[in-house]
Amino acid sequence: MRGGRPLKRWRYIGVFDRHLMLCAGDARVGPTRQTFWAVWDRRAGRLRERTAWLRHRQVELEPGRLHIRAPGVEVDLRLEEEEGIETVCPHGGSYVWTRKQGGIAARGRVVIDGRSIDLDALAIVDDTAGYHARTTDWRWSAGVGVGAGGERLAWNLVEGVNDPPAGSERTLWVDGSARELGPVTFGPALTDVRFTSGEELRFTSEAARARTDNLVLVRSDYRAPFGTFEGDLPGGLTVAGGLGVMERHSARW
């Protein structure tokens, strides 16, 4: 506890590839805990997922490794983790720390209903811990892609938390080199992200995770679609092919 607020902390991993997209997370709010995973099989057009308000053995999140074992699904990936970018931002009467890694290599194997896929993909890793305000609403986007000039791109964009004009978590990685981006505005239907410098990143949803929980003291309502991106990023970069997620989350914790 700090200033009457419980610590919130989580690790989220998103992996994006032309064959499939997946995510897994472990989130804790004071004494409560939620773990989840989702695999979007783009070829079969099927989303598989599970969320539980406790730690279940289907998900293992360790530094440099992601393992999911569930009926019909097995994921075993190694992550080439880096130092990432870290920020500490005020929120409510306290602060939030976060570290983001963008466009890191994720390699291994995914098995879906006996079909094996050797994966050589790119990933986003989000580690966060802080004493968020009682009510927190945010919009978030994380993705990877290729620029029109062949640049390797990854981004982390947010509105509503960790988003001061400078010193925010908003980051663009170009060929592995990170730089902060200016403020952004998300479309209400999660179809676009607009930059104050005039650029626009457009999103097409393919499959969405969505959930509402009400545990009296802790409430959570979110929608988090997987999909594709196109458009422009600051610095004269055009996204020729982008994959990733958007998220709308409203929490009372």
For the stretch 126-136, pLDDT in tens is 999 999 999 99
| All residues at 6 or more sequence positions from 112 whose CB lies less than 8 Å from its CB, including other chains | 20, 39, 41, 44, 48, 72, 73
C-alpha to C-alpha distance for 31 and 89, rounded to whole angstroms:
24
Considering only residues 26 and 55, tell me which one the structure prediction assigns the higher pLDDT.
26
Query: Is pLDDT above 80 for 55?
Result: no
Asked whether residue 203 is assigned to any structural domain, the reply reads yes
In a domain, 104, yes or no: yes
Residue 2 in any domain: the answer is: no
pLDDT on residue 13: 98
The pTM score is 0.96
| pLDDT > 90 fraction of the chain, expressed in percent and rounded | 94
Q: How far apart are CA 131 and CA 27, in angstroms?
A: 14
- 102-121 pLDDT, tens digit per residue, is 999 999 999 999 999 999 99
What is the number of H-type helices and E-type strands within the chain?
0, 19
The pLDDT confidence band at residue 125, using thresholds 50, 70 and 90, is very high
What's the structural domain count of the chain? 1
Percent of the chain whose pLDDT exceeds 70: 99
Residue 22 lies in a domain: yes
Contact by Cβ (8 Å): 125, 81: yes
Q: Is the residue at 68 inside a domain? A: yes
Query: Are 182 and 234 a contacting pair, CB within 8 Å?
Result: yes
Q: Would residue 224 count as lying in a domain?
A: yes
- Mean pLDDT throughout 43-63? 91
The answer to whether residue 3 is domain-embedded is: no
Residue of 13, 10, 65, 9 whose CA lies nearest to 37: 13
Rg (CA), the chain: 17
In 3D, which of 33, 35, 39 has the Cα closest to residue 77? 39
In a domain, 176, yes or no: yes
- Which domain, by its residues, includes 221? 8-252
Residue 57's pLDDT is 81
